[in-house]
């Protein structure tokens, strides 16, 4: 333990090799494992507005959000940054939608890189798609003009995907828009 290791981005950011102990200390300082639904109750005590809970990957957590009284959830793995190899939002989304879509608004983020990805997530049941990383990159590259360009690109890609799948409006996007695995096997 204590032996220097190259921990990738952290080492590059700090400009020196860091130990696993350094990394574990950083995690301990930045992530609180004691966070629970009671923390949301504390927030609810002083915030009566709409509440959307981000970071849901499990249908039971989604049902707990309904019981809590959340107005919506964001199915998110936070870009996979916190836990390498965590379930993708595309895999997590359908069972969550099945469990709670009639009870609250289900949004999704993580892994959205194109307009086609937006169409896919809508087809998997999301009511809306967040574009945080793409927006941040576009903003950093060219300010407001970059964000406007990124949104234009996403919209054009969505129109192409919708045209190719025979969908003429966003509200027509559903699971039938996607090719199902069993249908592919029937073609072979």
Report, as residue numbers or ranges, the catalytic residues: 78
Residue that is written with structure tokens 């998110």 in the block: 76
Of 110, 62, 63, the C-alpha closest to 90 is: 110
Residue 15 burial (C-beta neighbours within 10 Å; 0-12, 13-18, 19+): exposed
- Are the beta carbons of 1 and 21 closer than 8 angstroms? yes
Residue that is written with structure tokens 């799948």 in the block: 165
Q: 176 CB contacts (<8 Å, ≥6 apart)?
A: none
């Amino acid at each position: 333990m204590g032996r220097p290791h190259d921990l990738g981005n952290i080492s590059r950011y700090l400009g020196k090799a860091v130990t696993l102990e350094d990394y574990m200390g950083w995690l301990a300082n930045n992530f609180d494992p004691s966070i629970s639904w009671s923390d949301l109750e504390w927030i609810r005590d002083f915030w009566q507005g709409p509440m959307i809970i981000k970071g849901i990957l499990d249908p039971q957590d989604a049902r707990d959000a309904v019981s809590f009284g959340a107005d919506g959830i964001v199915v998110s793995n936070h870009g996979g940054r916190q836990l390498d190899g965590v379930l993708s939002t595309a895999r997590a989304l359908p069972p969550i939608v099945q469990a709670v879509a009639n009870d609250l608004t289900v949004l999704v983020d993580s892994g959205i890189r194109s307009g086609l990805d937006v169409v896919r997530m809508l087809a998997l049941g999301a009511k809306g798609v967040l574009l945080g990383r793409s927006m941040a990159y576009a903003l950093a590259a060219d300010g407001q003009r970059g964000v406007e360009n990124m949104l234009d690109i996403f919209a054009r890609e969505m129109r192409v995907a919708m045209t190719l799948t025979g969908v003429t409006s966003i509200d027509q996007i559903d699971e039938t828009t996607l090719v199902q695995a069993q249908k592919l096997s029937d073609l072979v």
